[in-house]
Every structure is written in structure tokens, then in C-alpha cells.
């Protein structure tokens, strides 16, 4: 019988009759060859114990991630970012709710001069220690000497390597790029440069601030009701959106402020924000963000209900049967209400959070 018809010929025969040491060496060589290309088998992944990173900001930002905060001009994104920087530097809860991991923050602010930053910090800093917030600001436009490209990138890289911050904030992105960042190729190049900043500090998170694109004709989508559609509509570069781990949106309208996230690694959500009395500092609103989309009668009924209730208890609060029915039918799909399948009691979602808005890229 010829060798071509022998079931034990060729590789099959070699595999069966190999001695264990030879087989082991061949397997080790195979793994070494695969690892040249950073390829792992699923079994290697399953067998590896991976360290669980503590988020830098609970539900919002983890080490090594790039996040994009977008909003219209003058809607408070720089104030919110500075508030975030101070909260991280002090290890205090962001917006009074989201836990932070204390660390240094480097903030490159291209637009606000030092005297303006002083005014804002005195307002939102609340006399807390600020040594861990390191600001690169410019008295005049011509003095900008750090950026994401060219010789200015080299200087920015040196700055990052010296400071070694937990978080780097760039405000705004367009002045760090010095080109049209809505251009697809330019957007990808900018993200590549951000990644290059992590050469000696791979755990550094980066937050990029950017304005919405100018074209807003017939724009009716609200961040509070559909953050994914809002983000895709308001920002021009799909490439930039696709190359960051988390997108944050901030929108102000007659109902107040909405802050929404679309993320790869965390549950996305939308919350309502409001300003603290006599301050520009943000805090979480007492009311769910989507409550403002309901008719006034349903909003008033909501305010009468306790955190947990039965239908009977709702009637006892003076809410009409048809009004309570309408409220439950409207609030449950929004995630504002959950119902215990056994007791049939309802519970309000909290605090002020509507989750399950989808994951980035799905």
C-alpha cells in the first residue's frame, strides 16, 4: 500500500509515534511562534488569572481607557471636567455618588486662562487641597506649546512622563489636534497619538473634551431619551466614536441638564444634573432624568409615591386609578420602576439613574 493511503503516514504518524519530550518541545515552539503575534488560545485565556482593576471613577472610567466628553459650547463640560479632576485628586465621590480612586490629574486647558481657572476653582473646589490637580494653561493663544502632533507632541509626552498622572484631560481636543477632528483619518490619528502618550504609563486614562458639530438643523433627539442616537447625530466623526472606550454627553435644555454615557465596558446610563445653589458645581438631580418627558399629571403623581409601593398604596396617596396605570405603563419601559414578581410591589429606580441604554458598538 502506498504511503498516501496509509492512515498513519505523514503528520498523523509523526503525531502518534512522537515521544513525549519531542511533542512537548514542538508544542512549546508552536506557542512561542503564536506569541510573536500576541495570539493566545482560549485555554490560555481561561487558565490565566487576570487582575481586576479598581475603576478610577465608578461606572464611568477605568485605567488605560480613553473617554470622550461632548457638549455644545458654554454648556458646562469644562466645569464638569474640572470638578471631576478635583474629585479624583481628592479621592472623593464624583457628583456626590460615583466613587473615585485617588490619583494625580494632569489637565491641559487650551481655552481658559489662569485667572479664569482661579475663579472657577474657588467656586467648585470648596477649599479642598488641590496639589494633585496639575494644570497646563496658557496666558495667550500663541503660547500653546503642547499638542498631539509634531514637536509639541514630544513636549506633551515629556510632560506626561514627568507627571505620570492617573488621568490626563485635554480640553478641547480640536486645539490639541490643530486640524479638523471630524475628518475620519485625522480622528484615528489623534487616538493613535493618545495611545502613544501611554508608552511609559499604560494605566493612564485620558478624557478628551470636544464641541458638538455645528450643523444642528431640525435636531429633535434628546440625550435624556436616546443617548446613542444623540451621540451619533451630534458628532461628525464616526471613526473617533468607534475608537474610544466610553462616550459621555452633556446637554442642557428647558428641563435641566442631562448627562449620559455609552460605554464598551460598563452599563450605559443617563442621569439628571443640576447646579448647586449659588455655584457652578454640578450635583445629581433628585428626580430621574426621564421624568421631564412625562406629562405634568404623571410627574405630579410620581412625586406623591414613596420609594416602594403597591397599587393600593398609590390610590391611598390620592392618585386616580387611570393616572396610576398610565404612570406605571410609561415608567417601567424607561427603567424608572421595577416590580417584584412575588409581592407585585413597585420600586423606584435610584438614584436618578436610567440604565440599560446599550453598549458602545452594539
Q: 46, 49, 57: which is closest to 266 by C-alpha? A: 57
Q: Which CATH class is domain 66-285?
A: alpha beta
Question: What confidence tens digit (pLDDT) does each residue in 101-123 have?
Answer: 999 999 999 999 999 999 999 99
What gap in Å lies between CA 79 and CA 3, rounded to an integer?
77
The CA-CA-CA angle for residues 182, 146, 181, to 5°, reads 0
CATH of 292-353, one of 3.30.70.270, 1.10.10.10, 3.40.50.300, 1.10.540.10: 1.10.10.10
Read off the pTM: 0.78
Q: Cβ–Cβ contacts within 10 Å for residue 127, how many?
A: 6
* In 247-310, alpha helices (H): 296-304
- Rounded to the nearest angstrom, the gap between the alpha carbon of residue 287 and the centroid of all alpha carbons in its chain is 22
The Cα–Cα gap between 247 and 230 comes to 11
Domain ranges within the chain, ordered by starting residue: 3-47, 66-285, 292-353
Per-residue confidence (pLDDT) for residue 6, from 0 to 100: 52
Q: Residue ranges of the chain with pLDDT lower than 70?
A: 1-19, 179-183, 213-221, 234-237, 350-362
Cα distance between residue 142 and residue 294, in whole Å: 49
SS3 92: coil
Amino acid at each position: 500500500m502506498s504511503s498516501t493511503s496509509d492512515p498513519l503516514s505523514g503528520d498523523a504518524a509523526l503525531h502518534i509515534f512522537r515521544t513525549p519530550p519531542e511533542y512537548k518541545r514542538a508544542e512549546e515552539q508552536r506557542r512561542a511562534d503564536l506569541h510573536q503575534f500576541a495570539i493566545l488560545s482560549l485555554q490560555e485565556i481561561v487558565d490565566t488569572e487576570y487582575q481586576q482593576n479598581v475603576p478610577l471613577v465608578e461606572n464611568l472610567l477605568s485605567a488605560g481607557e480613553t473617554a470622550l466628553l461632548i457638549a455644545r459650547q458654554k454648556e458646562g463640560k469644562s466645569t464638569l471636567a474640572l470638578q471631576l479632576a478635583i474629585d479624583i485628586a481628592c479621592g472623593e465621590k464624583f457628583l456626590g455618588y460615583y466613587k473615585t480612586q485617588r490619583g494625580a490629574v494632569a489637565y491641559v486647558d487650551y481655552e481658559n486662562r489662569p485667572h479664569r481657572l482661579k475663579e472657577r476653582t474657588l467656586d467648585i473646589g470648596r477649599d479642598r487641597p488641590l496639589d494633585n490637580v496639575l494644570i497646563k494653561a496658557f496666558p495667550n493663544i500663541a503660547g500653546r506649546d503642547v499638542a498631539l502632533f509634531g514637536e509639541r507632541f514630544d513636549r506633551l509626552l515629556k510632560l506626561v512622563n514627568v507627571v505620570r498622572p492617573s488621568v490626563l484631560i485635554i480640553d478641547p481636543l480640536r486645539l490639541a489636534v490643530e486640524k479638523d477632528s471630524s475628518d475620519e483619518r485625522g480622528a484615528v490619528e489623534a487616538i493613535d497619538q493618545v495611545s502613544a502618550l501611554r508608552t511609559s504609563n499604560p494605566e493612564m486614562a485620558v478624557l478628551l473634551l470636544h464641541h458638538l458639530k455645528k450643523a444642528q438643523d431640525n435636531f429633535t433627539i434628546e440625550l435624556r431619551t436616546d443617548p446613542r442616537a444623540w451621540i451619533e447625530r451630534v458628532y461628525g466623526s464616526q471613526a473617533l466614536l468607534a475608537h474610544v472606550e466610553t462616550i459621555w454627553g452633556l446637554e442642557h435644555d428647558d428641563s435641566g441638564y442631562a448627562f449620559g454615557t455609552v460605554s464598551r465596558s460598563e452599563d450605559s446610563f443617563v442621569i439628571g444634573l443640576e447646579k448647586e445653589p449659588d455655584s457652578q458645581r454640578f450635583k445629581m438631580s433628585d428626580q430621574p432624568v426621564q421624568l421631564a418627558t412625562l406629562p405634568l399629571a404623571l410627574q405630579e403623581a410620581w412625586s406623591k409615591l414613596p420609594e416602594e409601593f403597591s397599587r393600593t398604596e398609590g390610590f391611598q396617596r390620592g392618585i386616580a386609578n387611570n393616572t396610576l396605570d398610565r404612570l406605571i405603563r410609561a415608567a417601567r419601559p424607561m427603567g424608572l420602576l421595577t416590580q417584584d414578581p412575588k409581592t407585585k410591589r413597585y420600586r423606584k429606580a435610584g438614584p436618578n439613574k436610567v440604565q440599560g441604554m446599550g453598549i458602545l458598538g452594539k
